[in-house]
């Protein structure tokens, strides 16, 4: 452990005692029996049958876990269809229940009952089948947050095809790389979409990608999102989505049964440069895991109105924006413009009576920055549970979220998982486990996690190390591939990337540093490679940023080094973004006290925001480019690209200001 990390932990970053769920919530929670942990331990892996029981199977699995480690296979002899589980079975019992309520950037609204969703999915599936899409083919989706995106995903699933969703904000180069890597057969895109009030031509970017791509697409399907606001012409191998579906209106497509181990989707995790790496998830294990955790961790039920503020272009949107909640059979609120205007949270909760809300700490901090007064005109009393996902949330932000978006007693479920894990692995069970602000919680029942040192040996409680998983889980990725290199979980490349064999068996390496307390609660400290070095002292970026955010009035912080190795901290304060006169001194004092004197930033740049992707992640790479006065990398994935120029100006102004 480095000196900075030790100082941070000794400063008492874990300041809050455990908070029990209130009795009224516990009594009605999906899981309220604390012996669930013991039962999973005693009967593992058979205990995971209860996750499989969340689904409807064409052939019930007799085997829970198969395959040779680490090429594990979940429910390998089971057969099912994901679209049936997310649509058909709900139509049979409650066809008129609202499945998806969509709100567009300009206030447009569309609602789909489960019967409506079934008709839309069947028509889209019939259209794709007409274009030659068959089981196992890959369909790439390059769409914004419009209903056609989940409809197309489920249409692919109905056919047994594999979908490859590419975030709509990524560049033409990124799309081309993903088309090639996935060996796509069909591309579904749109004419354009509204971004910050302006019509943006998405098809032109898709056209550029097709020229640069090496795959021979059977067709490109184009959704008309903008109507008269943007005129586009279709080529001979391009098809209008609306006309295609209309020609198959009323058609029923028999769902293709799939092995549980067959691919459901592939998702590419790299940035917009370099060779993208695909993470593949399977139909049975993945869908079981996301359905089970949606019900037990997020406590979502069919009577809820559920809002996951994540773009479907990222894995959170897949797992907890589409597959998990629709498998449970709830009503999903889908907001096209949320990423541009996250301060609309309270208005959306009020207008649509949202009961369960799942978002990132970055979004919560945007609310903190505006202040509680901005929420006062809205009624958020419908909220029953709050969730958070992404980077670590500080205790201060956790309490603010609970007090001002919740009612001060609302359960807040902090969750940890990754694209590779597919679903939530660490979190409290809100009807059972006490909450600890700043800690994601213990491993879920059936999940075995261990924090180890550099030699792979378990560390003592309170000592930081690397988070590893020592047993497989249903939502785990089936394999990785990069371009034509299609390796599976058991292959050498994936072993080198994710798994390590020890005397005690195989372990999955998460790449996250963490600390576990005496009660088994895990607190994530940041990525293993997120380390700064100053004056010969190594310390994690996460500990430095957490110390800065702990200063009164500071909402967000991001730290990088410049070309000389000096530490530059970008700091966002509440409301107007203007710092108090003593903020610099307070930040320096907090860092020196909570981390180490060597970690005190050499330069503090105050800004109104940080560059963030539409999934809410701070893009530190661009901040490093600014600090080093280097050419900026690709900004196409940002939801607020204009902030980069503002920050660069602030850096220049700060540098020219005499001490």
Residue 570 sits at φ, ψ, to 5 deg, of -100, 125
> Could you tell me if residue 652 is inside a domain?
yes
Rg of the chain (C-alpha set): 24
DSSP structure string for 323-369 = IHHHHHT-EEEEETTTTT-GGGHHHHHHHHT--EEEE-HHHHHHHHH
pLDDT at 188 over 90: yes
- Take residue 39 and report the two structure tokens written for it: 């039962």
Share of residues in the chain with pLDDT > 70 (%): 90
What number of other Cβ atoms are within 10 A of residue 226's Cβ? 19
> Could you tell me if residue 19 is inside a domain?
no
* Sign of the Cα pseudo-torsion (475, 481, 486, 490, in order): negative
> Could you tell me if residue 604 is inside a domain?
yes
pLDDT at 648 over 50: yes
Per-residue pLDDT band at 493 (split at 50, 70, 90) = very low
Number of domains in the chain: 1
Q: According to the model, what pLDDT value does residue 370 have?
A: 82
Mean pLDDT of 443-454: 96
Min mean pLDDT across 5-14, 55-64, 340-349 is at 5-14
Q: According to the model, what pLDDT value does residue 139 have?
A: 98
pTM for this prediction: 0.87
Give the closest residue to 36 by CA, choosing from 286, 386, 387, 292.
292
DSSP structure string for 252-295 = -PPPPPEETTSEEEEEE-S-SSS---EEEEESHHHHHHHHHHHH
Per-residue pLDDT band at 390 (split at 50, 70, 90) = confident
Q: According to the model, what pLDDT value does residue 184 have?
A: 97
pLDDT at 490 over 90: no
Mean pLDDT of 546-552: 86
Q: Which residue has the tokens 């029953």?
A: 384
> Could you tell me if residue 1 is inside a domain?
no
Give the pLDDT confidence of 610-633 residue by residue, as tens digits: 888 766 678 888 888 888 888 877
Give the closest residue to 324 by CA, choosing from 423, 430, 432.
423
Judge contact between 313 and 189, C-beta under 8 A: no
Q: According to the model, what pLDDT value does residue 247 have?
A: 98
Give the pLDDT confidence of 124-135 residue by residue, as tens digits: 999 999 999 999
> Could you tell me if residue 547 is inside a domain?
yes
> Could you tell me if residue 627 is inside a domain?
yes
Q: According to the model, what pLDDT value does residue 578 have?
A: 67
DSSP structure string for 537-590 = EEEEHHHHHHHHHTSTTEEEEEEEE-TTS-EEEEEEESTT-PPPTTHHHHHHHH
- Name the E strands within 26-156: 65-66, 73-74, 79-80, 98-103, 109-113, 138-141
Per-residue pLDDT band at 342 (split at 50, 70, 90) = low
**CATH for 537:** 3.30.300.30
Who has greater pLDDT, 550 or 332? 332
Rounded Cα distance, 56 and 41, in Å: 25
pLDDT at 530 over 60: yes
Q: According to the model, what pLDDT value does residue 549 have?
A: 86
Per-residue pLDDT band at 237 (split at 50, 70, 90) = very high
Rounded Cα distance, 62 and 500, in Å: 29
Min mean pLDDT across 39-48, 74-83, 91-100, 162-171 is at 162-171
Judge contact between 120 and 113, C-beta under 8 A: no
> Could you tell me if residue 378 is inside a domain?
no
> Could you tell me if residue 315 is inside a domain?
no
Per-residue pLDDT band at 271 (split at 50, 70, 90) = very low
Range of the domain at 613: 530-656
Mean pLDDT of 45-49: 98
Q: Are strands 98-103 and 109-113 parallel, antiparallel or unpaired?
A: antiparallel
pLDDT at 492 over 70: no
Mean pLDDT of 364-391: 91
Min mean pLDDT across 101-105, 135-139, 357-361, 481-485 is at 481-485
Q: According to the model, what pLDDT value does residue 355 have?
A: 98
Give the pLDDT confidence of 151-179 residue by residue, as tens digits: 999 999 999 999 999 999 888 988 999 99
Residue 343 sits at φ, ψ, to 5 deg, of -75, 0
């Amino acid at each position: 452990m480095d000196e900075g990390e030790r100082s941070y932990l000794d400063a008492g970053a874990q300041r809050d005692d455990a908070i029990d769920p209130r009795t009224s919530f516990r009594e009605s929670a999906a899981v309220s029996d604390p012996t669930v942990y013991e039962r999973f331990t005693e009967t593992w892996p058979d205990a995971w049958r209860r996750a499989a029981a969340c689904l409807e199977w064409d052939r019930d699995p007799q085997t829970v876990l198969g395959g040779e480690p680490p090429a594990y296979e979940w429910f390998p002899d089971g057969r099912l269809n994901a679209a049936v589980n997310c649509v058909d079975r709900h139509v049979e019992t409650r066809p008129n229940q609202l499945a998806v309520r969509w709100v567009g950037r300009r206030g447009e609204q569309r609602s789909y009952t489960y019967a409506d969703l079934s008709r839309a999915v069947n028509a889209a599936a019939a259209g794709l089948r007409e274009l030659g899409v068959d089981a196992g083919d890959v369909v790439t989706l390059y769409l914004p947050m419009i209903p056609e995106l989940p409809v197309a995903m489920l249409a692919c699933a109905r056919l047994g095809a594999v979908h490859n969703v590419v975030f709509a904000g990524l560049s033409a180069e990124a799309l081309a790389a993903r088309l090639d890597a996935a060996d796509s057969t069909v591309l579904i895109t749109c004419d354009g979409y509204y971004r910050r009030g302006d019509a943006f031509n998405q098809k032109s970017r898709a056209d550029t990608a097709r020229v640069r791509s090496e795959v021979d697409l059977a067709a490109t399907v184009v959704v008309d999102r903008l109507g008269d606001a943007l005129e586009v012409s279709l080529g001979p191998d391009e098809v209008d989505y609306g006309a295609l579906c209309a020609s198959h209106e009323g058609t029923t497509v028999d769902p293709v049964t799939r092995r549980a181990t067959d691919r459901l989707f592939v998702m590419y995790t790299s940035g917009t440069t370099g060779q993208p790496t695909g993470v593949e998830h399977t139909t049975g294990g993945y869908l079981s895991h996301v359905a089970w955790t949606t019900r037990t961790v997020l406590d979502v039920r069919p009577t809820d109105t559920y809002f996951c503020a994540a773009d479907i272009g990222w894995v959170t949107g897949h797992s907890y924006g589409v597959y998990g909640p629709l498998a449970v059979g709830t009503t999903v609120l889908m907001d096209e413009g949320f990423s541009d205007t996250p301060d609309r949270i309270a208005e959306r909760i009020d207008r649509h009576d949202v009961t369960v809300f799942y978002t990132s700490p970055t979004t919560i901090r945007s609310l903190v920055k505006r202040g509680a007064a901005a929420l006062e005109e809205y009624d958020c009393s419908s909220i029953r549970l709050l969730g958070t996902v992404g980077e670590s949330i500080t205790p201060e932000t956790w309490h603010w979220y609970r007090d001002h978006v919740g009612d001060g007693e609302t359960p807040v479920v902090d969750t940890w998982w990754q694209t590779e894990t597919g679903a939530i692995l660490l979190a409290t069970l809100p009807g059972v486990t006490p909450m600890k602000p700043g800690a994601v919680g213990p491993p879920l029942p059936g999940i075995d996690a261990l924090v180890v040192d550099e030699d792979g040996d378990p560390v003592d409680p309170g000592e930081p190390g690397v988070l590893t998983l020592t047993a497989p889980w249903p939502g785990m990725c089936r394999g990785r591939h990069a371009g034509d290199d299609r390796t599976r979980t058991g292959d050498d490349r994936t072993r080198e990337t994710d798994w390590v064999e020890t005397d005690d068996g195989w372990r999955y390496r998460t790449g996250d540093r963490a600390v576990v307390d005496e009660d088994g609660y895990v607190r994530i400290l940041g990525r293993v490679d997120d380390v700064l070095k100053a004056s010969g002292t190594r310390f994690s970026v996460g500990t430095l940023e957490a110390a800065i955010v702990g200063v009164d009035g500071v909402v967000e912080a991001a730290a990088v080094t410049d070309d000389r190795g000096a530490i530059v901290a970008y700091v966002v304060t509440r409301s107007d973004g203007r710092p108090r006169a003593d903020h610099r001194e307070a930040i320096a004092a907090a860092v020196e006290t909570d981390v180490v004197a060597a970690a005190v930033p050499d330069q503090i740049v105050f800004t109104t925001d940080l560059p963030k992707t539409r999934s809410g992640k701070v893009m530190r790479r661009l901040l490093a480019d600014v600090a080093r006065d280097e050419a900026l990398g690709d900004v196409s994935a940002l939801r607020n690209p204009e902030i980069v120029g503002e920050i660069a100006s602030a850096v220049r102004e700060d540098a020219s200001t005499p001490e």
